[in-house]
Structure 1
């Protein structure tokens, strides 16, 4: 993201500041509220919502880093630029990874309940989450040292984002297919409210992930066709929807009317 003066902000930075501010001003309080409810709840709640807890922590970190990034837009401090690059990679990779993790968790619960009960133990989830955070940090460091716009930068991004997107797509479609089947003794046309709600949530999360990561996947192919700085736009789109998981948790907790 280029640094420039306030009088000569390019259109992509206006897009970054306006869209990102609207999303993070909504997401930060909602994520903090949901995070407080989980942490202050019973240990069983913390264990059952461990994935959501980590995702909310990452979302709050990204929101705070986002507002801090305004400093780097108007300053030319090299250290701040490196920190901003680390934040960008963390926000993109972290959100995609944890959302995929949540989707795989639901996939196991619906299609492989025996495996899910074994994996549900805190030691297995903790190990997976620790590996996830390590991967996020490594991707952040790689983004710091890999120059943007190079072939290697795009290859690394594609090698992570494409498998993540395909994994979530497979898990989501598998879950939806199972949930849409009528239960024993249930007529095909009978509506199951909980199943419909679950299907809608899964589809919404999948659409949000596609919206977040597809710009990065298409960016190498579009930059030669469109004479616009796409990196900043792609990073901005990756932050949209920061409050989705918080809203889903607050709805499950009965804190929202819907």
Structure 2
């Protein structure tokens, strides 16, 4: 939202050294994320070669791969925007368009991951049926819909009110769904299973705990994203800041979106046993 809302102001940028410094620092941080993104795709490619079929890859991993591709596209957008700042300001608009493409996907792929983890814990029988066949088709259709939504949403950049309503709409829906998933998984974790006594708390399934931690991590990052978008949009609509102040505010709040880029790749590497202290 921060980058989307600034699309008009980037056409007439002000000379603001603070804004340029904040953006450049954020750009450097995302450049440092590239090895992480490439490592995730490399591990996924290696697994695909061994298994010979994407159908055997877990739904969560597939969502993570698409999320990483989105993030790499976002780094390209940062690069274009950075070039526009220091050389050709026309490229700033191109960079904003790229940000507009990836913004919905950053939220929706997290949402799909939460729903998948929710099914795995709360409805394990249904989840096992959806691991193959029809489940893979549903997953692929969902991914296709996310990508289509990402590109279609860019057509609304010139209609500010529609853009704000739609973006806040899917953010609010995502937060509601993620909260529901986290509460449902927590209830399953604290509820004794069949034949399990009240004092047998150490027997809680570790996979359910991992699912809960995954959902909670995603909920925390989406909450940061939602709050930063709420603040940036409110200030943008109120027009209380000048052109330079607006850019400083927007790109400062954009730092709160950085955890959204990290949570799924880091959780993937944790599952793969590639993080320090993690067992394969």
Quickly name the TM-score band, shorter chain normalised: 0.7 to 0.9
How big is each residue's C-alpha offset from its partner over 1:178-210, in whole Å with a ceiling of 9 and x where there is no partner?
223344425457344824444333212210111
Is the alpha carbon distance of 1:99 and 1:45 closer, same or farther for their aligned partners in structure 2, counting shifts above 3 Å? Answer: same
CA-atom RMSD, angstroms?
A: 2.7
Alignment correspondent of 1:54: 66
Residues 24-78 of structure 1 show CA distances to partners (whole Å, capped at 9, x for unaligned) of 1332111110111112212355354222221121122212322332012234454
Q: Does 1:74 align with 2:73?
A: no
Partner of 1:88: 99
- Moved >6 Å (runs of 4+): none
Match of 2:268 in 1: 249
Correspondence for 2:185 among 161, 165, 175: 175
From 115, 124, 135, the counterpart of 1:113: 124
Structure 2 residue aligned with 1:39, among 27, 45, 70? Answer: 45
Moved more, 58-67 or 245-254: 58-67
| TM-score normalised by the chain length of structure 1 | 0.82
1 CA distance for matches of 2:209 and 2:142? 30
Residues 167 and 13 (structure 1), Cα distance of their counterparts in 2 relative to 1, 3 Å cut: farther
Q: Report how far residue 232 of structure 1 moved.
A: 3.3
Tell me what 1:18 maps to. Answer: 25
C-alpha change, 1:199 and 1:214, in structure 2 (3 Å) is same
* Aligned-partner Cα distance in 2 for 1:111–1:46: 21
Shift in CA distance, 202/152, structure 1 to aligned 2, threshold 3 Å: closer
Provide the rounded CA distance (Å) in 1 between the counterparts of 2:228 and 2:259.
12
Gaps of 5+ in 2: 1-5
Q: How many residues align?
A: 250
Residues 225-236 of structure 1 correspond to what in structure 2 (within 5 A)? 227=241, 228-229=245-246, 230-236=249-255
| Residue in 1 that maps onto 2:3 | none
Q: 2:257 aligns with which of 238, 246, 258?
A: 238
**Partner Cα separation in structure 1 for residue 86 and residue 259 of structure 2:** 23
Instruction: Look up the SS of the partner of 2:201 in the other structure.
Output: coil
Measured against aligned partners, the alpha-carbon deviations of 1:121-142 in whole angstroms (never above 9, x if no partner) come to 3212111111111011111232
Moved more, 216-225 or 50-59: 216-225
Of 131, 144, 158, which residue of structure 1 is paired with 2:145? 131
User: Alpha-carbon deviations, 1:7-33, whole Å to 9, x = none?
Assistant: x435344323213422x1332111110
Could you tell me how far 1:157 is from its partner in structure 2?
2.1
The 8 Å contact of residues 58 and 94 in structure 1, kept in 2 or not, is answered as yes
Deviations 1:65-112 (A, max 9, x none): 22332012234454x334222222223211101000111111122222
